[in-house]
Structure 1
Amino acid sequence: MLDLVWAYVLVFVLSAVPFFEAIIITPVAIIAGIPAIPVFILAIVGNLLTVYLIILFIEKVRSWRKKKGDNGKRSGRAKQLWNKYGLPGLSLLGPFFVGSHLTAFLSLIFGGTKKRVTLWLTISVTGWSLVFGILAYFGIDWLNVDNQFLEGIFKQ
């Protein structure tokens, strides 16, 4: 029981970390054998919690980002998505190219409102996590794949 609690904590924490995120952690945890529904909920909450914090504290994040310096390659990809598809496109595709946290930040920088960025990123993170979680859940069931390596990581 305690191992399962630690696995859930790990899912929550890793999904909150930029570039790990819910769309990656959800299928990995499901493949590892952790129950799908709690994994999905914890991964979404962990990921969106930190995204919402970025949206809420955008001014502080902007000043921190200026001090740190901008990653031109990632920002360039995001700007291309923004110019071509707008906020919905960047929100739906951004998590794959730059991560949901940077997508939130850049969406606000490029002109999105806090309310619309929050809505679109909630749709994106939840939707993609659900899709990948379902694929992982049923894909493993259909293929009957034994993942002792991943199960070992989460059960230790």
Structure 2
Amino acid sequence: MEFMELLWAYLVVFVLAAVPFFEGYGVIALAIIAGLPAVPSILIALFGNILTVLLLILFVNKIKEWRRKRKGEGEEKNPSKRALRAQSLWKKYGLPGLAFIGPLFVGSHLTAFMSLSFGGTKKKTSIWMVASIVVWGLVFAVLSHFGVDILGYEDKGFFKDLIEKN
């Protein structure tokens, strides 16, 4: 792969990992399956996901204010099933439990937002969310690496095969 192609691929990895609901761990798996070098892909995806989660935590008060204005001041709606599940996790396992379980079900951005809404401090939420993102990223990287290796795509990615045939 030439330098510009690799640069574009890493830019896509970063942007996709930064987008809410398109989690870093999912992007890591896609990058490895696509045949990108694992270590840079993992680092770039983790950085993209962590950066946007930390920005959300930093600006959570502005985001809450924006949501309140968007919904209307007096309108209170019933919490969603996701919110109820997150609140249940919060009550049962606290911030660490929500931070580690939440990203698999609702995404890291929404998990961070809910953690702060349920009473977590910015500092503790940041620490637990970064730890969670790193752990899940590494777990999915290892699973993807060995899964791809088992399929015999060690030196060439699945997507490269598709592109080369066309």
* TM-score, scaled to structure 1: 0.90
Q: Percent identity?
A: 53
Residue among 158, 161, 164 paired with 1:148: 158
1:74-125 per-position Cα deviation (integer Å, ceiling 9, x unaligned):
2122111111111000000000111100111110110101111001001100
- Structure 2 unaligned blocks of 5 or more: 72-76
Residue among 92, 99, 102 paired with 2:110: 102
TM-superposed CA distance for 1:21, in Å, is 1.4
1:14 aligns with 2:16: yes
Q: Given that residues 32 and 151 in structure 1 are in contact (C-alpha distance below 8 angstroms), is that contact kept between their aligned partners in structure 2? A: no
- Structure 1 unaligned blocks of 5 or more: none
Amino acid at match of 1:58: V
1:52 aligns with 2:62: no
Q: Equivalent residues in 2 for 1:7-156 (5 A)?
A: 7-69=9-71, 72-145=80-153, 148-149=158-159
* TM-score, scaled to structure 2: 0.85
Seen in structure 2, the aligned counterparts of structure 1 residues 152 and 8 have a Cα distance that, compared at 3 Å, is farther
Residue equivalent to 1:4: 6
TM-superposed CA distance for 1:67, in Å, is 3.6
Indicate the RMSD between aligned Cα atoms, in angstroms.
1.9
1:11-48 per-position Cα deviation (integer Å, ceiling 9, x unaligned):
00000000001011001110110100011110011001
Q: Given that residues 51 and 104 in structure 1 are in contact (C-alpha distance below 8 angstroms), is that contact kept between their aligned partners in structure 2? A: yes
Amino acid at match of 1:142: I
Instruction: Give 1 or 2 for the bigger CA radius of gyration.
Output: 2
Task: For 1:110 and 1:80, locate their aligned partners in 2 and report how far apart those are by CA, in whole Å.
Answer: 11
Q: Given that residues 77 and 97 in structure 1 are in contact (C-alpha distance below 8 angstroms), is that contact kept between their aligned partners in structure 2? A: no
Task: For 2:132 and 2:112, locate their aligned partners in 1 and report how far apart those are by CA, in whole Å.
Answer: 11
Amino acid at match of 2:25: I
Task: Pick the structure with more helix per residue.
Answer: 1
How many matched pairs? 153
Seen in structure 2, the aligned counterparts of structure 1 residues 151 and 126 have a Cα distance that, compared at 3 Å, is farther
Amino acid at match of 2:127: L
TM-superposed CA distance for 1:61, in Å, is 1.1
Q: Given that residues 91 and 103 in structure 1 are in contact (C-alpha distance below 8 angstroms), is that contact kept between their aligned partners in structure 2? A: yes
